[in-house]
Amino acid sequence: MNSSEIAIGIMMPAYNAESTIHLAVNSILSQKYTNWNLIIVNDGSSDKTKEIADEFASSDERIKVIHFKENKGRPFARNRALKECLKYEYVAFLDADDFFHPDKLSNQMEAFETNPNVGMVSCAMGSYDDKFVLRRVRGTKGVKPIKYSYDSNFTLARAANMIKSEIIGEIHFSETLKMAQDSDFMMRVGHNHEIMSIPNVLYYYSEYTSVSKKKILKSHYYNLVRFSKSISDFPLGSINHLVISFAKFVLFIIRYRFLTQESVLNSRGINPNEHEVKEFNLIVNFLQKNKMSL
């Protein structure tokens, strides 16, 4: 089958995202790879997210919107979107306050076509602030196809990944974890499958506006919770991750009062190069010009 004939389901939970969802959806409409289906789950928003999402859906048949009457939380919204996306061959992810590079889907589909045994393809990510300045990038070294295991000494991020639906099966996002559901889901899906990552920055993350020092502290705590819960399924890997996570948690608590939010976020990546900054600025300018064009 030609890669252009393969359908991708894109999950987008949205809660009070009226100021960002235009940019996110327009980045999907601008994809060079066009065989996608966007599932927006409006998680009981109290702003104009519902109206904006419905307007997008009325303008493009590839966009479907599901509305929750009240806010249920991201794991519930993700699971509802996942249920729809599993109808397609591949599943991708985009939060309503982030956006894609125009080449994201096409580059990842090319990677799958070149590496048919791979079940999951990620890419490098760029983090930007409230003034749309690209501050940090990570994952730019890429990862050649490797066999992943829950026992591996690293965890898997969700946002930038694309996954073959067949390897997801019955796995879903934990609705009992208040945080860390994403990495829990990804590690369970990736277990015993080949994964890889493209070195290109293809996912842009609003990290400097959506992630706080307090949120990172909570994520360290919930990593302990999730690895404790996974011991029965993955004993060796869970205990290993639990020990490492506990050490990171204690160290972060000790340093917490001395760290600024800026320094914490800066430590999560490296400075972008001139090409990455220029490309980011061009994409942002293009998407912002088309922000209201429905």
Dihedral pair phi/psi, residue 172, rounded to 5°:
-140, 175
**Per mean pLDDT, which range of 124-128, 197-201, 207-211 is the poorest?**
207-211
Of 81, 79, 63, 68, nearest to 26 (Cα)? Answer: 63
Average pLDDT over residues 92-111: 97
Q: How far is CA 231 from CA 154, 182, 236, 240, in A?
A: 17, 18, 8, 10
Q: For residue 291, give both structure tokens.
A: 């922000």
Q: Where residue 55 falls among pLDDT bands split at 50, 70, 90?
A: very high
pLDDT tens-digit map of 3-14 = 567 899 999 999
pLDDT at 153: 87
Structure tokens at 288: 């912002």
Please compute the mean of the pLDDT values over residues 233-251 and round it to a whole number.
95
Q: How many CA atoms lie within 13 A of 235 on its CB side?
A: 1
Residues 156-187: tens digit of each pLDDT: 888 999 999 999 999 999 999 888 999 999 99
Is the Cβ–Cβ distance between 75 and 175 less than 8 Å?
A: yes
Contact (CB, 8 A) for 173 and 117:
no
Whether residue 288 has pLDDT greater than 90: no
* Residue 1, both tokens: 């089958």
> 34 pLDDT exceeds 70?
yes
What one-character-per-residue DSSP string does 167-194 give? HHTT----SS-SS-HHHHHHHHHHTTSE
Q: Report the pLDDT value the prediction gives residue 2, as an integer from 0 to 100.
A: 52
**What is the reported pLDDT for 49?**
97
The mean pLDDT of 227-239, rounded to a whole number, is 95
Give mean pLDDT, residues 243-265. Answer: 92
The per-residue pLDDT for range 76-99, each reduced to its tens digit, is 999 999 999 999 999 999 999 999
pLDDT of 294 over the 60 cut: no
Question: Which pTM was predicted?
Answer: 0.94
Instruction: Classify the C-alpha dihedral 35-119-191-165 as positive or negative.
Output: positive
Which H/E stretch holds residue 170? none
- Kindly state the average pLDDT of the residues 206-214: 91
What is the arithmetic mean of pLDDT over 268-276?
96
Q: Which residues pair with 93 in a beta bridge?
A: 11
- What integer pLDDT is reported at residue 139 of this predicted model? 94
Mean pLDDT of the chain: 94
Instruction: State what percent of residues in the chain have pLDDT above 70.
Output: 97
Q: What pLDDT does residue 108 have?
A: 98
CA distance 122 to 127: 16
- In the prediction, which pLDDT does 293 show? 45
